[in-house]
Amino acid sequence: MTQASSVDYSTLKYNLLKMWLPVTGVRTPVDLWTRNFENYFGDKVYCVMQDWLRQNNKETTPDFLCKPHFENYFDSRPPFEIDEVILSGSCSEGLFLYSREPSDRDFMCVLKNITFSLEDQQNGCLWLREDTPFVYAFMTSDETQNLWCAFLDNADKGTRKHRLSSRKLKEKLQENSQKTANNNICSAIFGRDEEVTEGAAMTISKPEFGTSDWNRLVDFLTKFLNNPINEELGGEIEYWVSNGGLPDLFYTRAAQASDVVLAIFCEGWPSCAREWITRKRLWPDMNSVEKISNNGYHIVPKSSPDGDFRLSFSCVETMLVETLIPLQRRVMRAFKAVVKYHENTWSPNLKNIISSYHLKTIAFWHFERTSQESWTEDTLVHHLVALLEELAEALRIQNLPMYFMPKVNLVQDVDNPEVTLDLMEKISQLSQNFCAMSEAINNNI
């Protein structure tokens, strides 16, 4: 290692160690706000923030602008009722980034009056295959068929099994959303799948605010989240808070969209993913595997030729991230920051080829194959480089097995292999550029 690269290596290591880590396991927007803000800035500043909100007649536990009133999107009586709303994705996992492009929030709206029990699954109510995450859902009892008759596929009415239509569920959500007064503030986006997040039924869009305001917030957070809190900095933060600058930016500009995912709870663990429980691994430990596999999973309306619904492991993935040690979470968050930051600087053909889900999958496979003893402060750079190299290799061979169902290849439907290979080469070069990695980490907090 040359002297210059040694300096870059040390700088990258330092940047990794000082990365801010958001709270993991957050299930509600209120907790996303309170736990992260109070955890980092401390009780004193948090109390000043709360006082400012009360004085300005705002919610004392704000939801980053225009909290969606989910009850307005559902009926007040069966069958189309809401059971619970779960904040999912990077916000729940503590892997979101504050960058120039605000992150979306993902809300999983779990339907009431319908679940698939273990007995239901044994009776064939879910049609599962090991080579696809898509499933068909069937109603077999007279009670559920009568309750959900308006949401059944007409083509199956002559059979004993009546197939649940994901299209009709999403249409009902769209119909309700168009009636709600919330549309005076938010607009709901439906239509083509690429307009919404994977599996989302709709996206609630919020008014866009000035870029300079958002950049001001990011600059502030970059400055303070990348430095230890001391009396001088704490005083400046209190000045911002007490004068309304920071809370106003947080309250009105911190998120631009919320993706709403309809979900149905299923007990146990899907039979098509049983291999995940039994395979040999170094992570997570067997106690965690048992707890996760007994916690249940969801299916979400997302159709394909292989089924009307898609298996969702979103809550499972949050539980997995919670088992990571802080050093692993730092590297995982840095991995996302590095790829997303530089992906935006490459040509438009390369942008958004790699999703956050691809990066999370690479990280999970890496954690499973590395011992806990290998994770030390001195090995953080090594692990980050390894993740980039493993991503490049997956693109080179065009094969990235889904973490819970390895027979499913997440990159098999690449439209332009030449573009993918170009991206692979850029990521491979990036894995050796410590200075470029540091730049990305410092610009995504």
The half-sphere exposure of 420 on its side-chain side, counting CA atoms within 13 A, is 18
What gap in Å lies between CA 222 and CA 20, rounded to an integer? 10
CB 340: neighbour CB atoms within 10 A? 20
- Tens digit of pLDDT for each residue in 131-182? 999 999 999 888 999 999 999 986 544 556 789 999 999 999 989 888 775 4
Q: DSSP assignment, residue 428? A: H
Q: State how far the Cα of 441 lies from the Cα of 339, in Å rounded to an integer.
A: 10
- Are the CB atoms for 180 and 196 separated by under 8 Å? no
Q: Does pLDDT of 327 surpass 60?
A: yes
Determine the average pLDDT of the residues in 256-262. 78
**pLDDT tens track for 61-99:** 444 444 456 788 899 999 999 999 998 989 899 998 866
Residue entry with tokens 């077999």 = 140
Distance CA 58, CA 61 (A): 8
The answer to whether 68 touches 260, Cβ cutoff 8 Å, is yes
Tokens of 263: 């979900």
Whether the predicted pLDDT of 19 surpasses 80: yes
Evaluate whether 69 touches 10 at the Cβ level (below 8 Å): no
Query: What's the rounded Cα separation, in Å, for the pair 274 and 297?
Result: 13
| pLDDT given at position 50 | 59
User: 144-156 burial string, b = 16+ CB within 10 Å, else e?
Assistant: bbeebeebbbeeb
Evaluate if residue 255 carries a pLDDT over 80.
no
Instruction: Write down all domains in the chain, each with its CATH number in brackets.
Output: 62-209+256-315 (3.30.460), 324-444 (1.10.1410.40)
Beta carbons of 445 and 225 less than 8 angstroms apart: yes
Lowest mean pLDDT among 165-179, 231-245, 411-425: 231-245
| pLDDT above 70 for 428 | yes
Residue 60 contacts residue 89 (beta carbons within 8 Å): no
Cβ pair 409, 419 in contact under 8 A: no
Task: List the single range of 125-139, 258-272, 358-372, 414-428 with lowest mean pLDDT.
Answer: 414-428
